[in-house]
């Protein structure tokens, strides 16, 4: 986070501590306080930005925070809590000990014993908060120097090492969100459909086994005078190309709005993102292309002086055509950044 604590943060917290949750306050201080060390990780107590302790009370906790305010003759603030510690009806110490500490503190203005025990409370509460914060994926995004879950997810999807840092146009956290699909060793058309549908938020369909003609190298072509014993129907081919249905698939996107359609055209930002998603999920060993489907309500006819792109976003047909425009098929694999 780049924000800092508001000027009236401590004023509001001191006036109404019961309106705040302990973890909420500590997380806000940790994220926006601008301190060097995350709460609970400073190597020495004097490097902690706040002081924590427990308010000795015999009542059941009405809220997590008891009080908040500045420490006398110190630039630090102190938070006293009800919900966690050695005192009170939920604490491990006998109740008469809580009563004794409370009496010394309130009636004799002697906080010596309370301050001593709060030395341990300070550390216990910070470790309790740190244990909670370490288990929350969103909390690890609050500080740039605390990205534990980022490392976990990047390692899970094969991007944990620095040398494997993303080099495409896709947002890093979008890949982390798709970790459930990316960790699978067997990549499927269904998985690709779900990834693209969730990322682009448009209908997606993957058609498998799309026929393609593959050129046969001259040295592999069947020749009657080559002295080779090719067998008909097995390894003999007529012509310079062979039909194959195992190495190509087609992605159909839409129906979509004209705004989305234009961004998927060759060179568009979504076309580049589509290429990168397919390369990241499928790899580069398959041929593939994409069919763009524009909603029939947004199909416009070509007009002189218009801004339509010939062969991409203009049609020589009635604008009131009953079907969606699905004529455009192209391969985004060769698109440059």
Q: What is the pLDDT of residues 288-313, one digit of tens each?
A: 999 999 998 888 766 666 667 766 77
Counting the structural domains of the chain, the total is 4
Residue bearing tokens 């994926």: 137
The DSSP line for 197-220 is: HHHH-S-EEEE----EEEEPPGGG
Q: Are residues 222 and 299 in the same domain?
A: no
The CA angle 252-254-258, to the nearest 5 degrees, is 130
Is 4 domain-assigned? no
Average pLDDT over residues 267-292: 93
Mean pLDDT of 166-190: 87
Residue 337 has pLDDT above 90, yes or no: no
Is residue 101 domain-shared with residue 180, that is, in the same domain? no
Give the pLDDT band (50/70/90) at residue 209: very high
Instruction: Write down the pLDDT at residue 156.
Output: 82
Is residue 221 domain-shared with residue 174, that is, in the same domain?
no
Residue 1 placed within a domain: no
**Enclosing domain of residue 219:** 215-244
Judge if 195 and 135 occupy the same domain. no
Q: Are 94 and 179 found together in one domain?
A: no
Domain match, 326 and 202 both: yes
Lowest-pLDDT range of 42-51, 85-94, 197-206, 297-306: 297-306
Establish whether the linkage from the previous residue to 255 is cis, with ω within 30° of 0: yes
Q: Report whether 79 contacts 68 (CB < 8 A).
A: yes
Instruction: Based on the fold, state whether residues 195 and 240 are members of the same structural domain.
Output: no
Query: Do residues 249 and 285 both lie within one domain?
Result: yes
- Same-domain check for residues 309 and 323: yes
User: 5-17 pLDDT, tens per residue?
Assistant: 777 898 999 999 9
**Mean pLDDT, residues 89-96:** 91
Same structural domain, 274 and 221: no
Does residue 283 belong to any structural domain of this protein? yes
Report residue 62: phi and psi, to 5°.
-80, -20
* Domain end (from 197, 224, 244): 244
Query: pTM of the prediction?
Result: 0.71
> Do both 17 and 130 map to the same domain?
yes
**Residue in 259, 257, 278, 253 with CA at minimum distance from that of residue 332:** 278
152-163 pLDDT, tens digit each: 888 888 877 777
The answer to whether residue 277 is domain-embedded is yes
Which residues on adjacent β-strands are paired with residue 282? none
Task: Taking residues 313-332, report their average pLDDT.
Answer: 79
Q: What is the per-residue pLDDT for 59?
A: 86
The answer on 64 and 107 residing in a single domain is yes
Q: What is the mean pLDDT of residues 135-157?
A: 80
Q: Which of 227-236, 241-250, 286-295 has the lowest mean pLDDT?
A: 227-236
Three-state secondary structure along 152-174?
A: HHHHHCCCCCHHHCCCCCCCHHH
Q: What is the residue-wise DSSP string for 228-274?
A: ----BTTTB-SSSEEEESSSEEEEEEEEE-HHHHHHTSTT-HHHHHH
* pLDDT for 116 beyond 70: yes
Average pLDDT of 122-151? 85
């Amino acid at each position: 986070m780049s924000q800092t604590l508001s000027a009236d943060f401590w004023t509001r917290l001191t006036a109404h501590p019961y309106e705040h949750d302990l973890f909420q306050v500590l997380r806000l201080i940790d994220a926006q306080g601008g301190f060097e060390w995350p709460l609970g990780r400073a190597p020495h107590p004097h490097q902690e930005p706040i002081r924590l302790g427990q308010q000795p009370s015999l009542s059941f906790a009405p809220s997590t925070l008891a009080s908040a305010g500045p420490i006398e003759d110190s630039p630090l603030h102190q938070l006293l809590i009800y919900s966690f510690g050695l005192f009170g009806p939920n604490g491990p110490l006998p109740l008469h000990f809580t009563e004794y500490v409370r009496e010394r503190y309130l009636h004799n203005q002697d906080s010596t014993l309370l301050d001593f025990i709060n030395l341990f409370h300070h550390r216990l509460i910070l470790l309790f908060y740190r244990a909670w914060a370490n288990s929350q994926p969103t909390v690890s995004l609050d500080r740039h120097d605390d990205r534990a879950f980022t490392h976990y997810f990047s390692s899970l999807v094969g991007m944990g090492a620095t040398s494997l840092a993303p080099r495409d146009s896709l947002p890093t956290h979008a890949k982390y969100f798709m970790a459930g699909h990316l960790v699978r060793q067997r990549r499927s058309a269904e998985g690709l459909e779900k990834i693209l549908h969730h990322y682009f938020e448009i209908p997606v369909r993957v058609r498998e086994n799309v026929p393609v003609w593959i050129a046969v190298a001259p040295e592999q072509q069947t020749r009657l005078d080559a002295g080779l014993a090719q067998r008909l129907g097995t390894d003999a081919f007529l012509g310079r190309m062979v039909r194959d249905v195992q190495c190509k698939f087609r992605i159909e996107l839409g129906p979509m709005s004209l705004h989305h359609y234009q961004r998927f055209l060759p060179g568009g930002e979504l076309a580049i993102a589509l290429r990168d998603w397919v390369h990241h999920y499928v790899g580069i060993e398959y041929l593939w292309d994409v069919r763009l489907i524009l909603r029939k309500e947004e199909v416009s006819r070509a007009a002189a002086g218009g801004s339509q792109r010939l062969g991409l976003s203009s049609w020589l047909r009635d604008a009131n055509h009953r079907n969606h425009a699905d004529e455009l098929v192209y391969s985004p694999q060769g698109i440059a950044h």
